[in-house]
Amino acid sequence: MTAVDPRAELGAHPTAQGRGWRFVVGQYVALTKPRIIELLLITTVPVMFLAARGIPSLWLVLATLVGGTFSAAAANTLNCVIDRDIDALMNRTATRPLVTGTVSTRNAVIFAIVLIGLATLVLGVFVNWLSAWLSLAAFGFYVGIYSVVLKRRTTQNIVWGGVAGCMPVLIGWSAVTNTVGWPAWILFLVIFFWTPPHYWPLSMKFKDDYAAASVPMLPVVERFVVVSRHILFYSWLMVLTSLALIPVAPMGWVYAVGSLVSGGLFLAEAHRLHHHAVLGSPHAVLKPMRLFHYSITYLTVLFVAVAIDPLLYLAIPGLPR
């Protein structure tokens, strides 16, 4: 039997025509990759608390979140447009709306343009124009640099493509101060170093998918022991950079304890994965997602500590640091 290229079947699936409005809305929401947006929002709000050294205007927080959500949604939608051919070749992404044909390419592009236009207006008018320009820069980098240039050409795609995912901390800080301070840059670097050990375990899990689509993720072209060594390198850089925030911000004991404990656990998981990779254990092949899932917990814990730390010292003046 002759193999059928899934790309040849694009558009052959039933469209959303005739389906209920909830289904249609759900398909457009799926294009925006809501889980990725959740991670971006987790990093935005705490930085606003840190920049304000307390509770920022709730209206400002809302406007920043709405604008940031629209911008990320636009970028993710265009990423789906650009990647629709390789998405059709991977089991993990084969049900995305542009692959199944439930949303047309034309409508997805229009949707993304409307979203990025709204994002720019919301941030520019209701927050400030520095935040709007930073949002546009993140959008352009993710779509133009990562999706178009890097993803299909280099094993370093995730490393440098992760710059776009670091931008929300700069946007959150600039929303409050209309500047970009050193604490924001440190947290930018934390996320930059976090991205490879977050994403490479996922790439290890779905190595065959990426290989089938000819996407040169690091686990596709290197042995797992090499990948785990890279994961260790970036994990240590991430944890050490997170500690640099303590004297620069400055931060108190809440953040210090949170970053040390969560960072220590992250390093333990990274070393565990490397240990199994060195031994050639099935654990490295079958269970890299343990580190992937913990990386999300780590980021959440770290940024919750970023938000709580200044609030605690606001609530208890004179509390020793």
Average pLDDT (221-245) is 96
Check if the beta carbon of residue 309 is closer than 8 Å to that of residue 52: no
Phi, psi of 281 (to 5 degrees): -70, 145
pLDDT at 21 (0 to 100): 86
Residue 306: Cβ-neighbour burial (10 angstroms; 0-12, 13-18, 19+): buried
Average pLDDT, the chain: 91
Q: Is 153 exposed, middle or buried (0-12, 13-18, 19+ CB in 10 A)?
A: exposed
Give percent of the chain above pLDDT 90. Answer: 80
Tens digit of each residue's pLDDT (9 = 90 or more) over 14-61: 555 557 889 999 999 999 999 889 888 899 999 999 999 999 999 999
Distance CA 267, CA 195 (A): 14
Q: Report pLDDT digits (tens) over 136-181.
A: 999 999 999 999 999 999 999 999 999 999 999 999 999 999 999 9
pLDDT band at residue 320, thresholds of 50, 70 and 90? Answer: low
What is the pLDDT, as a whole number, of residue 315? 67
Res. 284: pLDDT tops 70:
no
pLDDT band at residue 118 using 50, 70 and 90 as cut-offs: very high
Lookup: tokens for 258: 């949170």
Residue range 71-92, pLDDT digits in tens: 999 999 999 999 999 999 999 8
Give how far Cα 218 sits from Cα of 184, 221, 222, Å: 29, 6, 6
pLDDT of amino acid 123: 98
Mean pLDDT confidence for 114-121? 98
Given pLDDT bands bounded at 50, 70 and 90, which one contains residue 5? very low
> How many other CB atoms are found less than 10 A from the CB of residue 218?
24
Q: Is residue 93 within 8 Å of 87, Cβ to Cβ?
A: yes
Q: Comparing C-alpha atoms, which of 79, 170, 160 is closest to residue 116?
A: 79
pLDDT value at residue 41 = 86
CB 278 within 8 A of CB 267: no
**Do 172 and 149 meet the contact criterion of CB atoms below 8 Å apart?**
no
Report pTM: 0.90
pLDDT confidence bin for 8, thresholds 50/70/90: very low
- When pLDDT is cut at 50, 70 and 90, the band that residue 10 belongs to is very low
CA separation, residue 259 to residues 41, 232, 245, 251, 307 (Å): 19, 17, 10, 11, 13
- The predicted structure's pLDDT at residue 9: 42
Is the predicted pLDDT of residue 299 greater than 80, yes or no? yes
